[in-house]
Amino acid sequence: MRRAIELAMRGRGGVEPNPMVGCVLVAGAKTIAESWHEQFGGPHAEPLALRMAGDAARGATAYVTLEPCCHERKKTPPCVPALIAAGVARVVAGCMDPNPMVNGQGLALLQQAGIEVEAGVLEKECRQLLAPFIARTTYRRPYVTLKWAQTADGKMAGPMGRRMAISNATSNRLVHDLRARCDAIVVGVKTAVSDDPLLTSRAKSSRRLLRVVLDPQRRLPPTRQLVRTATAEDPVLVFCLAEYATIHGIGPGVEIVPVDSDPLRRDHLHLRSVLERLAERGATHVLVEPGPGMIRAFCEANLADRLWVIRSPERVEHDSAPAAPVVDWPGVAELDVAGDRLTEYLNPRGEVYFAATESADMLKAREDAKCKVQSAK
Ligand code: AOF
Ligand code: ZN
């Protein structure tokens, strides 16, 4: 199952909004096929492994990170009939499929067909792999990663909040790769004004990256790059409080999305509503590039699922430089990136937290960092 999880992670960035799924077919003590769901709309992990194994699948055991699917009227044929037809003797599933169309029925059908079924092997780890899919199916919101860079003395910008490059070029490339695997990138209006970012990804991707600004009082001026580059095909979403939505538009391609205010802080947006709107637009995984205020807001609302913190060796040594909040979540993985240190934290109180395991993104970053350091040599 551990191997199946590893394989599943190779689907990251390609399978969403579907879950990452891995499969290992074992006959006796021998692995006869390994596979993973590679692409949204493409074949599931199980039929790929069955095809690879051919007749050898008869009597074999299938280790799958997710309960095999059994529902019809979707992009690919269901996996349960395929496993039955192939004569598999035993299916070991990591966890149940939270999709209400499956949710236990897949395993029940296998059992009825006389296949030995075991469930819940490395269950927490398999569910963690599914965290973005569970966020979407159960909570109707995307998975949320907060990413920021800070200096060795904990500063997120220079004196008086002046813009300052903190992370190194290799870290920045890893962040662009992460952006390319996400569906939306979110900043606060302060960052949109002071840093004037484009919020695009320079990495190759087949995904569309939705650019989002949280701007409760509509302060984003039309001179910013985000506004100037917004088009109907590549829009920028500006979330604001309902009473500010009526102010005339700021440019073509900029969509104003009104949401309720936070009941505890009337001048703030209700973040869960923001995320629900993004989920409705198909976002499975949202990357937030926050300042200190937004970090606190997402953490207080318990809507930050994961943090990526990049720490540079430099120091600012100036009281007027804004400091990052102290993170008290346990780190699950760490990576040296050409002198910067990237740490991944998972929110232990998050509604889609199941196990303190490294994510597929971190695994990819680890592999990419190796290549990038080598190609720089
Ligand atoms: C599996 N194995 O590898 C995956 C499963 O539209 P489709 O045909 O791709 O079906 C998507 C649904 O199938 C998805 O919502 C989830 O319930 C399940 N995913 N199931 O047996 C796989 N990716
Ligand atoms: Zn399936």
CATH number at residue 302: 3.40.430.10
Alpha helices in the chain (DSSP H): 2-8, 45-53, 79-86, 105-112, 123-129, 131-139, 169-181, 189-194, 225-228, 271-280, 292-300, 360-376
Ligand 1 atom with the smallest distance to the CA of 106 is: 21
With respect to residue 308, please indicate whether it lies within any of the assigned structural domains: yes
Domain end residue (candidates: 129, 158, 188): 129
Ligand 1 centroid vs 185 CA: distance in angstroms? 26
Q: Is the CB of 347 under 6 A from ligand 1?
A: no
Closest CA to 19 of 65, 73, 76, 77: 65
Count up the domains in the chain and report the number: 2
Task: Please tell me whether residues 182 and 117 are part of one structural domain.
Answer: no
Closest C-alpha residue for ligand 1 atom 11? 18
The crossing angle, in degrees rounded to 10, of helices 79-86 and 45-53 is 20
With respect to residue 236, please indicate whether it lies within any of the assigned structural domains: no
With respect to residue 303, please indicate whether it lies within any of the assigned structural domains: yes
Q: What are the beta bridge partners of residue 310?
A: 149, 342
- Ligand nearest to the Cα of 64, by number: 1
Rounded to whole angstroms, how far apart are CA atoms 156 and 179?
20
Q: Is the CB of 46 under 6 A from ligand 1?
A: yes
Task: Please tell me whether residues 123 and 149 are part of one structural domain.
Answer: no
Neighbour-count burial of 249, counting CB atoms closer than 10 A to its CB (0-12 exposed, 13-18 middle, 19+ buried): exposed
Domain end residue (candidates: 81, 104, 129): 129
With respect to residue 220, please indicate whether it lies within any of the assigned structural domains: no
Q: Is the CB of 68 under 6 A from ligand 1?
A: yes
Residues of the chain below pLDDT 70: 205-206, 372-377
Task: Please tell me whether residues 277 and 156 are part of one structural domain.
Answer: yes
Rounded to whole angstroms, how far apart are CA atoms 78 and 60?
19
Tell me the one-letter amino acid at 168: N
Task: Please tell me whether residues 198 and 125 are part of one structural domain.
Answer: no
Q: What's the confidence (pLDDT) of residue 248?
A: 74
Number of other residues whose CB lies within 10 A of the CB of residue 126 = 29
Task: Please tell me whether residues 157 and 103 are part of one structural domain.
Answer: no
Query: Considering all CA atoms of the chain, what is the largest pairwise distance in Å, rounded to the nearest integer?
Result: 69
- CATH code assigned at 14: 3.40.140.10
Rounded to whole angstroms, how far apart are CA atoms 325 and 130?
28
With respect to residue 238, please indicate whether it lies within any of the assigned structural domains: no
Range of the domain at 22: 2-129
With respect to residue 75, please indicate whether it lies within any of the assigned structural domains: yes
Place of tokens 């909004």: 17
Task: Please tell me whether residues 78 and 48 are part of one structural domain.
Answer: yes
Ligand 2 centroid vs 55 CA: distance in angstroms? 20
Rounded to whole angstroms, how far apart are CA atoms 166 and 338?
13
Task: Please tell me whether residues 125 and 190 are part of one structural domain.
Answer: no
Q: Is the CB of 103 under 6 A from ligand 1?
A: no
What distances in angstroms separate CA 13 from CA 147, 149, 203, 208, 343, one per listed residue? 17, 23, 12, 11, 20
Domain end residue (candidates: 64, 95, 129): 129
Task: Please check whether residue 308 is in contact with residue 344, taking contact to mean a CB–CB distance below 8 angstroms.
Answer: yes
Report the predicted TM-score, pTM, of the whole model to 2 decimal places: 0.95
The crossing angle, in degrees rounded to 10, of helices 169-181 and 360-376 is 140
- 376, two tokens: 């720089």
With respect to residue 254, please indicate whether it lies within any of the assigned structural domains: no
Q: What's the confidence (pLDDT) of residue 376?
A: 55
Ligand 1 test: best mutation among 64, 69, 101, most atoms within 8 Å of CB?
A: 69
Q: Dihedrals φ, ψ of 119, to 5°?
A: -130, 160
Task: Please tell me whether residues 29 and 54 are part of one structural domain.
Answer: yes
Ligand 1 test: best mutation among 12, 15, 18, most atoms within 8 Å of CB?
A: 18
Ligand 1 centroid vs 71 CA: distance in angstroms? 9
Catalytic residues: 46
Q: Dihedrals φ, ψ of 168, to 5°?
A: -85, 175
Task: Please tell me whether residues 166 and 270 are part of one structural domain.
Answer: yes
Task: Please tell me whether residues 146 and 125 are part of one structural domain.
Answer: no
Q: Is the CB of 199 under 6 A from ligand 1?
A: no
Closest CA to 200 of 289, 272, 283: 289
Ligand 2 centroid vs 78 CA: distance in angstroms? 5
With respect to residue 320, please indicate whether it lies within any of the assigned structural domains: yes
User: What one-character-per-residue DSSP string does 224-276 give?
Assistant: SHHHHT--SSS-EEEEEEGGGTTSPP-STTEEEEEEPEETTEEEEE-HHHHHH
Q: Is the CB of 93 under 6 A from ligand 1?
A: no
Task: Please tell me whether residues 21 and 166 are part of one structural domain.
Answer: no
Ligand 1 atom with the smallest distance to the CA of 101 is: 17
Q: Residue 238: how many CA atoms within 13 Å on its side-chain side?
A: 30
Task: Please tell me whether residues 178 and 93 are part of one structural domain.
Answer: no
Tell me the one-letter amino acid at 210: L
